[in-house]
Structure formats: structure tokens, C-alpha cells
Amino acid sequence: MKNIKNIFRIACLMSATLCILILTARAQSDKGTDKIKVSTIVVDEQGDPVVGAAVYNAAGSFAVTNEDGGFELETPSGATLVIEKDGYASQTLEVADLAEQLTMPKLGLLLSEQDLVNVGFSYKKKRDIVGAVTTITPSEFMKYDNTQWAFDAINGRLTGVIGSQNVRGLGDAMIVVDGIPGRFLDILNMEEIEEITVLKDANAAAMYGAMGRNGVIVITTKRGKAHHKDVNVNVNYGVKDPISFPKFLGSADYMTLFNEARANDGTLPQFTEEQIENYRFGDKIRYPDIDYYSSEYIKPRTSFANVLADFTGGSENTQYYVSLGYKRDGSIINLNPDVNAGGNQFNVRGNIDFKVNDWIKSSIDIVSVLFEEKSALSNILSAGTTRKPYTFSPLLPLSYFDTVGNKTLQGQLKAANLYDNSVLGVSNAFRDNTPIASAYAGGYQKNSWKMTQFNNAIDFDLGGIAEGLSAKTYLSFDFYNYQNTAVRNEYSLYEPTWAADDDKIIGLTQYGRDRKDQVENISNPLFVRRMGFYGTINYDKQIGENHRLNLAVLGFANSTQIKNVTQVDRFSHLGWQLGYTYKDKLMADFSGSYVHSIKLPDGNRNGLSPTLALAYVLSEEAFMQGVGWLDYLKIRGSAGRIYSDIGISGYYLYDELYDYNSDSRRYYEWGDAYVSRETLVDHGRNFDFDFEERLDFNIGLEAFAFNKLWVEWNMFRSDIANQQTRLYAQYPSFYTPFIPYSNYNTDRYSGTELGITYKEYVGELAITLGGRFMYTMSQRTKVDEIYENDYQNRQGTLVTALWGLEDRGFYSQSDFDANGKLIESLPQPAWSKVQPGDIKYIDQNKDGQVNDQDMVTIGDWRHPVSYGADMKLEYKNFTLFALFTGMAGGDALTSGDYFWVDGQDKYSEVVLDRWTPETASTATFPRLTSGASTNNFRNSTFWLYDNSYFKIQRAQLTYLIPQKTASKILMKSLRLYVAGSNLLEISQNADLRQLNIGGQPQYRYYSVGLRAMF
């Protein structure tokens, strides 16, 4: 608690400092308040008008050049104007220096200021990048795609990314936000983000050292701009509809089928026919049939809202940016809305950049996110998967009580707390688990999550020492705090006594008491503190007309400490980048890192990770000038190694570890004594334990053709070698506890990716189409293993292979003799005795038994094919946008109690297609049993399904209010939109893919909103 208070004080102090600096910046930007009208014509070097250039000043004035290249603007007399357009050199000049005509030089393709890309610790123009890098700029697509969260925006938009974080199938990439690794992706609002860049190959990710093994996603948040003054507001409100819920059988159907299960097992029925009839046709309070996913407990939909406003501006010396956001997410639970209130999130981001003197600049960033979700102590969505429907009625309405002449009952009802004009019902056998009563009377819990971040950067222009020399330091602190706060009330439950001749309650048995908790109880507190620092020295020098040299040296350190966890996670490394460019067409890059790991023994803690990349802009060569349709073509290739310890699961694994067992009832084999404590060996010692390696190769190209088609293509291969393992196959089994951790296994990931963007005009209709495709495959190329049968060797198989048995349908009556014994010619299952209706498996090794030695590869849990496509249609002031995503070739297995129903499990709808003698030819589920079905419920092709899908991820229709109308209400622009997401899925098994069991359902989202700029 003391730490939290100190953090709060620091946050207040830093926030106050930031506010003072921002107010100072605003004051500086308001100089020269006398308003004058200015106008000019903007042309390029050939004298052609530059149409659509944006004109700004720090007072907030705004204009756009017309078809003649002209503009007119009212501005303070002492203001500075900024004129910008993609593909042209930006112009910054004082109003007094404005001539009748202004020339904006046109720049080469991908060489403008708008083409600068944050590649980690520096910025490069797209043309100069030699590694495999993909980037998107939210400010461009947010005008027609109101995706609010970074996690959603990445999905389907970035070539080479599977889902939202997996780069090329290697695993989750490192998330870097404003230069700091390890920050959270799912709390970032897209309105705060300037750019998202994915560093895919080893060369692009080299400067991140060990943390870059799986690729890096670099997120750059917005900052203030000199001579701009903008206010942006985005408001949207919508509803989300659950797609599906689990479906379970009602009381009577469950009882009927459970009796069938017992009959299959040769035991007597548990429920009588009279009971079943009562629960099927009788009164639903006396004979309950509870569906926890009905509208009685679950809303058909719930609402959500997002509001975000940002403010940006500044002068030449000081720039500021402030973002304020609020998110509201309603609860789907239809009980006690004061308790099941849903979640609220507030976020604040502010930064300021300022000049200290002519050669030092600095910046301060402060971020704070507060999230709180209030709910009942019980989870209805989870309870509904296990609570059988017939157990008891959770609410006993007052209309069911016969109190005439029954003073005892009258007194009980008078003293009882009422909920929806009912008392809380229960059955003595189940009174320890009453989820609905808990939602009404049990109190509440609040899950609170708080995050605070501080960043400070100092930039040094050392041109006075050597032209092109600069340096930077970056210091950051992150604080994360989570806690669960709960009020746990006691409450009375009542078991009814029913009249014999009608459906009236004539008595109550009370359990428990009513008592309000007077305090909020804090549990599961988590406090995480992260500190980071890096420093860079950069040398960027143009040598003559043809040569440019860039050198960067990096020192990086990052640590994360979790309260009550002794070991601090630390990453540190040195990095370098040496780049050379010849005539803006031939590029070479030699980048790498010298990594350090405290997970490894002395002597192996450091590793050198070099990479090399080459790129050649062929379209600049004379022999390509005759190819008129080709505007730009760059080919590139890279190779490199990254040493990493992120796959090493713990610290001190290189050293031997002993443990003890204090079980006082652990007897020696001969039984005449017992041991009260014994020493156990966990693993042995290996001082040769070393880094894992990523060995990476990439070739690719970028092309722009017909002045409308952009193509990006890569082919890649990454070997993850020397992986952590214990070499069980190389030692006898009795030596297992002494086997140390070693480096051995290798996995290979390879594939190709393609990204395309095409733009065409048909009259007043502008059509933009985009597509992204990736095919990846994986292979285990080196594995420590020993199997009796070669077909079970993992080497040569998919890294993501699913292993299981091959089924042959169900056993039939003909598979058994007259005594019910499996005939001898069939292989005998190893797990349990089988009957007709159980699953039959293939005996792969023909040894007469079916067991784990018959498991083979049956599928691939990861999709080898992933793709995304988008469409934007612009007609006058309307824009229609749609984003499509899909994956193909992947498989999945149904499992869990919903699909693998046996014993006392609650029966889901899947058992309706069970095997019986009458349905033997059409059944899709094994016979029912009231015991454990160990033969049926194991990974096999019987439970395998195709997990491929195509989805309409998002769609939005936007209307841009005419500029003249927006100006009348003091806005630079105003857009209105309707949007939807997760709208449609086409899949062979959509019912399985869209079903969540025991938690929040999947939703379809519909919203309306507005986006305004002032």
C-alpha cells in the first residue's frame, strides 16, 4: 500500500509538471493575435498546381489547396504556416515570407517525410529499409474504420502476422510501445497510436537482442506537432449481441438419458417414470427445469460506449499532446444490475517535447490507465456448465406459499429478505453451491487494474563535434497494480416443503442467516514494477552526392519485478547498426547485438548475434527506364542469427537442484518403517547450458506498378535451434532425476507472404482493394526421442502436429461374442472394457492391443494458410469499408465436459446423437455411461474437426459532412458512421468455433458514432 501511495504522489507531481509545460506551450503558440487573410498558389517544380495540400498554423487555422493549387486562410499576423502533402517536401514559413506562388518540390517514391518508419530505435524512410518490415498508419484508416483497440486493428491488416501478435508462426512477438518492450497491447486505443510497425526478419529485429527472437511489433504513440493546433473527438455507442451459448438438456431429458446410461452399465435407473413426467409437464417451481442461459438470467444483448478526445499543438520550441479516453462495457448478466454492473476504463496519455537549448531536446510522457469491473461473486456463465437443471428452484415466489393458518410460515416470510418478490430457494444437498442466490444476495467483487507509465527522453545534437552525430537517452518506469476487492454477505436459503395435493409450499427449512459484510476484503493483490533504459549514439552522414553512411550504437537494459517473487526478470544487451546507401538505390545493413543472460552459467552468459541485409532498387537503373508500367522495384535479402533466452523456462537450470518430500506416511518398500523426510533430485548440473538460436533467412521484393498497384513479397526460413530440453532418450530410465537441462532440439519455420494494394478510379468512384496472404509450414528437424515405432518419431513432423488415435467408428454387436466379450481377432483396448457403441481404434503396430503406442499425427492445430482482405469504396462524401479475414488448413479437437460427457456430467445437446442399437448407423456420439469412459474420451480423429474459416471482420459506412457545413459549426471536419464487427463467419464448423463454454460468449458488435476535428 505504501508503494501505491508513493506512486500516486509521483504521478500527481509529474502530471502537474506536464500540465504547466503544456500550458506554456499553448501560450507560446498564441503569439501574434492580430488576424489577417493570406493566400497563395502552391506548385511543384514544373509549375503544376499541388492539389489537396494541407495548410496549418499553431492557432488552429486550416485550409486545403484547391484545383488551382490555391488557398486562402485567416491567420495571426505573426504565425508560422506549415504546408504538407504526401510525396512532397513539407514547407514551413512565416506569414510575412509568404509569396504569391510557393514551390513544393516533389520527392522520389517512398522518400517523403510521411514515409518515415519507426524501425525500433531510429526512423528510416521506407525506401531505405532493407529488412522485412511492414507498417500501417492508423490516422489514415481511422477515417473510415473506427477500430478502437490495437489488438483488433492488427488482425488481418499486417502482412506476416497471424491474428494480432504471432509473426510468421514463431509465436507471440515482443510488443514495444514507445521504445519499451513488454508493454500491453490490449489496452492501447487506436486514437492514441501514430504508427504500428512489424519487424519480421532477424535483421529488422536485431537491435532488440534476445527479446526479438519471435519478431517485434513496434507501436509509436502520437506526439505534438509544431505549428499545429488540433482537437479530435471520437464518440461511439453500440450494442453487442452474443452469437451462441452452450445448450444443455432440460430436467426430464437429462433424467431419461441418465437412466439410459445406467442401463448401458447394467445398473438400475435412478429416476422413476413418475419423476420424469413431473419434471416434463409439472409446475416449474416445484419441478424446476433451470436453463442458466435463458433470458431470465442472460440479456439478449448489452451495450458499450467509447469516448476519446485528444489535443495537440505547439510552437517551434515546444509541442504537446494530450489524450483522454473512457470506455464502458455493459454486463450480459440479467441479475441484480447494481452488482453485475460491467466494466469501466479511463485512460490519460500526455507528452511534451521541448528544446532545452540549441543542441539538447527533451520529452516527458505520462500514461495512466484505470480499469474496474464490478460483478457478482458467482459466475453464472460458468455455473451453467455444471449445475444440473432439476436440483432446486433458485427463487420461490410468494404466490406459491399457503400461509393460511400457518403462523410459523407467516413469521418466516415476514423475516425473510425478498428478491423479485421471492425468497431464495435451495435443496439441502446443494446448498453449498447457489450461484443465482449469490448473485442476488451474496455481495459483489470489483476487479481493479491500474497502470502508470513515465518516460523521459533526452536528445543531443552533437553536430558541433562532428556533422551528423547525435545521441539519445531514454528512461522509463512502469507500475502495474491489480487487486480483487469483495464484499461477502451471508444470506438465508430456504428449502420448501410442498403440499401433497397441490403445488403450494406449506413449510420452509432455513439454512444460514442474513448478514451484510461491513468491509471490502482485498485479495489476490499483484504489484509489478518495470524499469527500462537505453542510450544510443548515431552518426548519419551524406558523403558527396552518392554515398550515405549511418552508424548507431545501443545500450539497453530492462528489468521487471513482481511483488513476492524473489527473482527479478532482467534483459540487457548492446546493439549496433551499420548502414550504407549508394545513390538511394543500393543499400547494405550490418546490424546485430551482443546479448547477456543471467539464466545461463558463467562463461555462456554472452552471445554475439550478427545479421546482414542487402537491398537494390532496380527501378533506378537505366536498363529499367524503358519499362513504363513499373514505377518502383526493390529486391532485398537478409540472413542472421539471434541468440535468445526467452525460450528458457527458468533461472539456474544449469545448476543441480535438490528438493525434499515431507510426507510422513511415505513407507519404505519393506514396510517396517517410514520416512518423515526424503531428499529428491530434481535435475542435474550442466555448465555447458547455452542460448537458444534463431537462424534466419529472408528474400523479398517491393514493387509499385501502373501508378496504382503496390506489391510486397517475402520468402523466409527460421530455424529455432539448441532449444532447452532434457535428453531422456540418451539415459536409462533409472537415471531420469539426474538428467540435466541441455540444448538440443531444432524446429524449422518456413513460408511465403504476399501483400497487395490496388487503387482505381471509375468516374467519381474511388476503389481501393487490399490483400494479404501467408503460407507457413513447420517441421521438427532435430528431436531427442526414442520410440519403439518409427511412425511415432516427432522428427520430420509438424511442430504444431496434433497427435491421437485413428478411429474406425463404433464397435457393433458383431464385434462381441454371446458373453459380451470382444472377439479375439480384434485388438484389445488398453484403457477400459468396451461395449457396442464405444469408439473403435486402429491398431497401428499390429500388436493386438490399442494403446498410446498407436497414436499418430492426425492434424495441425495451427493454420498453414492465413489471409486478410479489405475493400474501400469512396463516392462523393460516402465511404464504405469492409475487412475480411480467414485461415485455412488447421484442425481442432473437441474436448472437455461439454463434448466428452460421462459419469455425473451435465448433459449437453451433443448426447442427443448418441449411439443406440437403433441409431447405430447415424450416431455421432458414443454410447452413454454413468461411469468413466476412458476408452472414448481421448484425442482421436473421432473428435477432430476442420477449423478453417472466412469472416467478415468489420464493415463501416461513413459520411463526411461537407466542409462548408462543418465550418459553420466551428469544425475542420465531421464524420458520421455506422459500423459492425465480427459480423459473419463462414465455416464448416462455425457452431463449434463460435461457442465459448464457461465464460463470456463471442459477440457481434454494432455501433454508431461521430468523429470530429476542431
pLDDT digits (tens, 9 = 90+) for 123-134: 898 999 999 999
Q: Does the pLDDT of residue 202 top 80, yes or no?
A: yes
Q: Could you give the CA distance from residue 192 to residue 139 in angstroms, rounded to a whole number?
A: 10
- Which candidate, 398, 395, 400, 486, places its Cα nearest to that of 434? 395
* Residue 524 pLDDT: 85
pLDDT digits (tens, 9 = 90+) for 540-557: 999 999 999 999 999 999
pLDDT band at 633 (very low <50, low <70, confident <90, very high): very high
Residues 409-422: what's their mean pLDDT?
A: 95
- In the DSSP assignment, the letter for residue 836 is T
Least confident of 203-207, 275-279, 517-521: 517-521
Residues 888-915: what's their mean pLDDT?
A: 97
pLDDT band at 13 (very low <50, low <70, confident <90, very high): low
CA 607 to chain CA centroid, nearest Å? 31
Average pLDDT of the residues of the chain: 92
pLDDT digits (tens, 9 = 90+) for 578-607: 999 999 899 999 999 999 999 999 999 999
* Residue 676 pLDDT: 59
For 492, 777, 778, 783, the CA distances from 801, given in Å and listed in that order, are 52, 11, 9, 14
Domain boundaries, the chain: 31-107, 249-290, 655-688
Q: Does the pLDDT of residue 674 top 90, yes or no?
A: no
In one letter, which amino acid is 291? D
What percentage of the chain reaches a pLDDT higher than 70? 94
SS3 content of the chain, % helix, strand, coil (to 5): 15, 45, 35
* Residue 109 pLDDT: 67
pLDDT digits (tens, 9 = 90+) for 933-973: 999 999 999 999 999 999 999 999 999 999 889 988 989 89
For 399, 437, 565, 937, the CA distances from 492, given in Å and listed in that order, are 19, 9, 41, 41
Three cell numbers, residue 791: 511412425
Residues 110-130: what's their mean pLDDT?
A: 84
pLDDT band at 27 (very low <50, low <70, confident <90, very high): low
For 260, 873, 903, the CA distances from 269, given in Å and listed in that order, are 8, 65, 14
Q: Does the pLDDT of residue 672 top 70, yes or no?
A: no
pLDDT digits (tens, 9 = 90+) for 828-838: 999 999 999 99
Please, what is the end-to-end C-alpha distance for the chain in angstroms?
A: 42
pLDDT digits (tens, 9 = 90+) for 745-783: 999 999 999 999 999 999 999 999 999 999 999 999 999
Higher pLDDT, 92 or 675: 92
Q: Could you give the CA distance from residue 53 to residue 85 in angstroms, rounded to a whole number?
A: 5
What percentage of the chain reaches a pLDDT higher than 90? 78
Do 469 and 538 form a contact (C-beta atoms < 8 A)?
A: yes
- Which candidate, 997, 928, 890, places its Cα nearest to that of 381? 997
pLDDT band at 92 (very low <50, low <70, confident <90, very high): confident
- In the DSSP assignment, the letter for residue 681 is E
pLDDT band at 96 (very low <50, low <70, confident <90, very high): confident
Residues 55-67: what's their mean pLDDT?
A: 80
Q: Does the pLDDT of residue 4 top 50, yes or no?
A: no
Residues 343-349: what's their mean pLDDT?
A: 95
pLDDT band at 12 (very low <50, low <70, confident <90, very high): low
Place of cell 453449498: 432
Three cell numbers, residue 852: 498410446
pLDDT band at 354 (very low <50, low <70, confident <90, very high): very high
Q: Does the pLDDT of residue 678 top 80, yes or no?
A: no
- Which candidate, 490, 501, 504, places its Cα nearest to that of 409? 504
pLDDT band at 16 (very low <50, low <70, confident <90, very high): low
Do 891 and 898 form a contact (C-beta atoms < 8 A)?
A: no
> Would you say domain 31-107 falls under CATH 3.40.50.9100?
no
Q: Could you give the CA distance from residue 163 to residue 172 in angstroms, rounded to a whole number?
A: 10
Q: Is the dihedral of CA 195, 198, 202, 207 positive or negative?
A: positive
Do 886 and 868 form a contact (C-beta atoms < 8 A)?
A: yes
- In the DSSP assignment, the letter for residue 826 is S
CA angle 911, 912, 918 (to 5 degrees): 110
* Residue 1 pLDDT: 45
Q: Could you give the CA distance from residue 923 to residue 807 in angstroms, rounded to a whole number?
A: 14
Three cell numbers, residue 577: 547498426
Q: Could you give the CA distance from residue 558 to residue 573 in angstroms, rounded to a whole number?
A: 9
Cβ burial of 194 (10 Å; 0-12, 13-18, 19+) is middle
Helices (DSSP H) in 404-540: which residue ranges? 407-415, 435-441
- Which candidate, 615, 608, 609, places its Cα nearest to that of 579? 615
Give the 3-state secondary structure of 391-425: CCCCEEEHHHECCCCCHHHHHHHHHCCCCCCEEEE
Q: Could you give the CA distance from residue 840 to residue 915 in angstroms, rounded to a whole number?
A: 13
